[in-house]
Chain A
């Protein structure tokens, strides 16, 4: 059964004809061409395919594309751009929180949804917030640190204070690392 749907992905409006059986994950990757969203297990057990629908993280491998009618979807491509990274993305780089990178798009979106809801999470709350995203490289310690750094930076931004990592701190991006 074919069905027309219109949805917003990363702020851009799309109108597509999809089959009732098409999963949102595959429509995002193959029809819209945004391949940052990954397919891992395909059964909702790994979180690699996480996207935000109206701000809420879901597994796009368990979500029929027809259900996305009228919804706003955020994928990793909409979180930040290479020239203008989201604080979470920068924090993942600063903390070496990415190893193979396959879980990173989903991990980042879960972290964003967490910080949107709870701007100052405890370590435990961070671990619960990303519990639906499995990192097979097991890089959780650095991922948690990155989310903590991003939370602090986002809160500073919120307060209008420019965020400048301390001289020599892991977050310091000046001096090409020579200050460390």
Chain B
């Protein structure tokens, strides 16, 4: 059992949820999404709450591809199962589907949500790297106001975000670009049910043989998911050459600050980062040449 009880509220619209959160913003209030991260926290008494606001019925489970606006809008309460099974996400945002497909295992993906994953702000969260390379923005709403921030600005540190009391992440907005292809890779101790030792996303836009844009993001190797800006810069404008991606990967490894923990040593994380960055770039490049994209690296197995 959880040790402490709390008031459980389940608003039936986003408006109601924001109004409840506004009223209770001086109290110890916590939003509940999938619960896969929060419940163990409550259980371990790492976190103590007086009010739990369940967003299950607030209608934040939409996935919309708006080609007029050139963006996909993903509701914060979309589960990883819904995300990785969505045909258009798989086809047009394969790196997002790849990340969703490798979170936890079936049960976890059925419960956990993309918004909850981001708000957990654990350094190893698998939802962030793809969204970082795709240039996603996050819609944060409070009663009566909202702001859109680049995902780079969302994370402050382990389990810390810019969310203010009463504020909720409601939607992830992902630009849709035909010229930019991305991929996601992760390495864990097993294929399923384990936190990432390192996770990486890479994205490229090409002008013939020349890299016109590169983005690289890594997780579990710094206090927050990060972009590898120096490696991106190195690639910018460069002509494709056999060792180019290896060179960029080596630079990316200088931009991270991994720790040693029970999952892996800092040294191992650094070495794996080099390999994953190079491979993720190779996959992103291969996707430039194809119109039809296969979602790689299906979820883990036993």
Interface residues in chain A, defined as those with a beta carbon under 8 Å from any beta carbon in chain B: 1, 3, 19-23, 26, 42-47, 50, 56-59, 61-64, 66-67, 110, 113-114, 124, 127-135, 140
Nearest CB on A from B68, distance (A): 34
Chain B neighbourhood of A43, CB < 8 A: 40, 43
Q: Which of B4, B5, B298 contacts A124 (CB 8 A)?
A: B298
Q: Which of B105-113, B131-139, B175-183 contacts A (4 or more CB under 8 A)?
A: B105-113
Shortest Cβ distance from A121 into chain B, in angstroms?
11
For the residues of B in contact with A, the DSSP-based class is loop
A-B interface pairs (CB < 8 A), number = 109
Contacts of A127 in B (CB 8 A): 301-302
Kindly state whether residue B11 has any CB partner on chain A within 8 Å: no
Interface pair B5/A19, CB less than 8 Å apart: yes
Q: How far is the CB of A82 from chain B (nearest CB, A)?
A: 26
Confirm or deny: B268 has a beta carbon within 8 angstroms of a beta carbon on chain A. Answer: no
Q: Is B165 an interface residue (CB 8 A)?
A: no
Q: A45-B193, A131-B300 are in contact. Are A1 and B106 (CB under 8 A)?
A: no
Q: Which of B10, B35, B298 contacts A62 (CB 8 A)?
A: B35
B39 at interface by CB-CB < 8 Å: yes
Which A-B residue pairs are the 10 nearest by beta carbons?
A: A132-B105, A127-B301, A131-B192, A20-B8, A21-B2, A43-B40, A132-B107, A131-B105, A21-B5, A62-B39
Give A129 to B104 CA distance when docked, in angstroms: 12
| Contacts A44-B107, A124-B301; A20 near B40 (Cβ below 8 A) | no
Contacts A26-B1, A131-B191, A132-B193 given; indicate if A47 touches B107 (C-beta within 8 A).
yes
CB-defined contacts of B56 to chain A, threshold 8 Å: 67
Q: Give 7 A-B contacts (CB < 8 Å), ordered by A residue.
A: A3-B8, A44-B108, A47-B107, A62-B40, A64-B32, A133-B105, A133-B302
Whole-angstrom distance between the alpha carbons of A131 and B2 in the complex?
27
Residues on B close to A: CB < 8 A?
1-8, 10, 32, 34-36, 39-40, 42-43, 52, 54, 56, 104-108, 110-111, 191-193, 298-302
Determine how close the nearest CB of chain B comes to the CB of A174; give it in whole angstroms: 33
Q: What residue in chain B is nearest A123 (Cβ atoms)?
A: B301
Q: Is the interface of A mostly helix, strand, loop or mixed?
A: mixed
Most chain B Cβ neighbours within 10 Å, of A1, A45, A131, A135: A131
CB pair B6–A20 under 8 Å, yes or no, is yes
Partner of B300, one of A46, A110, A128: A128
Whether B8 contacts A131 by the Cβ 8 Å rule is: no
Contact A42 B43 (CB under 8 A): yes
- The residue that B39 contacts in the complex, of A23, A50, A128, with Cβ under 8 A, is A23
User: From B194, which residue of chain A is reached at the shortest CB distance?
Assistant: A45
Q: Which residue of A lies closest to B4 (CB)?
A: A21
A97 CB → nearest B CB, Å: 13
Measured in the bound complex, the distance between the Cα atoms of B177 and A28 in whole Å is 48
C-alpha gap A45/B35 in the complex (Å): 13
B106 lies within 8 A of A57 (CB): yes
Q: Among the interface residues A57, A113, A135, which one has the most CB atoms of the partner chain B within 10 A?
A: A57
Instruction: Name which residue of chain A comes closest to B35, CB basis.
Output: A62
4 further contact pairs, Cβ within 8 A, besides A1-B7, A64-B39, A131-B301: A47-B107, A128-B106, A131-B105, A132-B106
CB pair A56 B54 closer than 8 Å: no
Point out which of B10, B42, B301 has the most chain A C-beta atoms below 10 A from its C-beta.
B301
Q: A residues within 8 A CB of B108?
A: 44, 59, 132
Interchain CB contact (< 8 A) of A131 among B39, B40, B106: B106
In the complex, what residues of B have CB within 8 A of residue A3's CB? Answer: 8
User: Which residue on B lies nearest to A1, using beta carbons?
Assistant: B7
Residues in A whose Cβ lies below 8 Å from that of B39: 23, 44, 61-64
Q: Please report the C-alpha to C-alpha distance between residue A62 and residue B192 in the assembled complex, in whole angstroms.
A: 17
> Do A113 and B106 touch across chains, with their CB atoms under 8 A apart?
yes
Q: Are A56 and B110 in contact (CB under 8 A)?
A: yes
